[in-house]
Amino acid sequence: PQGSEEAKAFVNAFLKRSMPKMKDEGIQDILTRKAVVLEHYSKKKTKQKRKKTKGFTAKQRREMRLFEIEPEQQRYTIFLPLHELWKQYIRDLCHGLKPDAQPHMVQGKLLKADLHGAIVTVTKSKCPSYVGITGIILQEFKHVFKIITKEDKLKVVPKLNNVFSLEIDGFISYIYGSKFQLRASERSAKKFKLKGTIDL
């Protein structure tokens, strides 16, 4: 137990330590009003910034030639296993491609499917030199298909003003390239509207 004077001295010393920025007169003024707010200095935690992993820009990818297929790899036979994988993928997507399957259902699935590995033929075109080109799609971009033909030639065929036919297990589907100018990743989320007749 402490006396009143010792208690006052303790409180004054405690307040001086707790409120180092305040003068003695200010402390006494606070004590007369019996309202004491002790200052609290919290240590600020330094947040560690997470480093974002930056990918390559489009320009860097072009300079590094990441998506270019080497001439020695441009052979039709190399990509036939890819075509077989694609056919199995479409069969699974369309639940088996049974003879009683509804054509519009198959067409809807094909429009949203990934076409890498599909064998397509240019059936109509405003440029006659494109008509008849047949091969496996190796790369699909927003505006063009890169197709490897049986003659081991890599053809870049624009989607605009071209109609492509695609056949699998007896089902033939036609792709109007002018209405198909999307990246594969964007196409899967797009809703295609059925139209009666479409012109090039």
How far is the C-alpha of 127 from the C-alpha of 19, rounded, in Å?
A: 86
Place of tokens 């080109």: 133
pLDDT digits (tens, 9 = 90+) for 116-159: 999 999 999 999 999 999 999 999 888 999 999 999 999 999 99
- What mean pLDDT comes out for the span 162-166? 92
Q: Domains in the chain and their CATH numbers? A: 1-32 (no CATH), 71-189 (2.30.30.210)
pLDDT digits (tens, 9 = 90+) for 25-60: 777 776 676 555 556 656 666 667 676 667 788 788
Of 69-73, 93-97, 164-168, 187-191, the poorest mean pLDDT is in 187-191
Note the helical H segments in 51-176. 58-64, 80-93, 103-112
pLDDT, position 3: 63
How far is the C-alpha of 63 from the C-alpha of 74, rounded, in Å?
A: 20
**Mean pLDDT score of the chain:** 80
Using CA atoms, how far residue 168 sits from 45, 67, 110, 128, in Å, is 62, 27, 10, 25
16 has pLDDT over 90: no
pLDDT, position 53: 67
Q: Provide the percentage of residues in the chain whose pLDDT is more than 70.
A: 80
- What mean pLDDT comes out for the span 100-121? 83
pLDDT, position 41: 58
Closest CA to 172 of 129, 117, 118: 118
Spatial contact of 133 and 125, defined as CB atoms under 8 Å apart = no
Using CA atoms, how far residue 69 sits from 59, 85, 155, 169, 183, in Å, is 17, 20, 12, 29, 19
Which residues make beta-bridge pairs with 100?
none
pLDDT, position 108: 78
Spatial contact of 129 and 142, defined as CB atoms under 8 Å apart = no
Note the helical H segments in 68-198. 80-93, 103-112, 184-187
164 has pLDDT over 80: yes
Using CA atoms, how far residue 111 sits from 68, 98, 115, 149, 184, in Å, is 26, 18, 9, 22, 10
113 has pLDDT over 80: yes
Higher pLDDT, 148 or 200: 148
- pLDDT-derived band of residue 181, with 50, 70 and 90 as boundaries? confident
Using CA atoms, how far residue 107 sits from 75, 153, 154, in Å, is 29, 29, 27
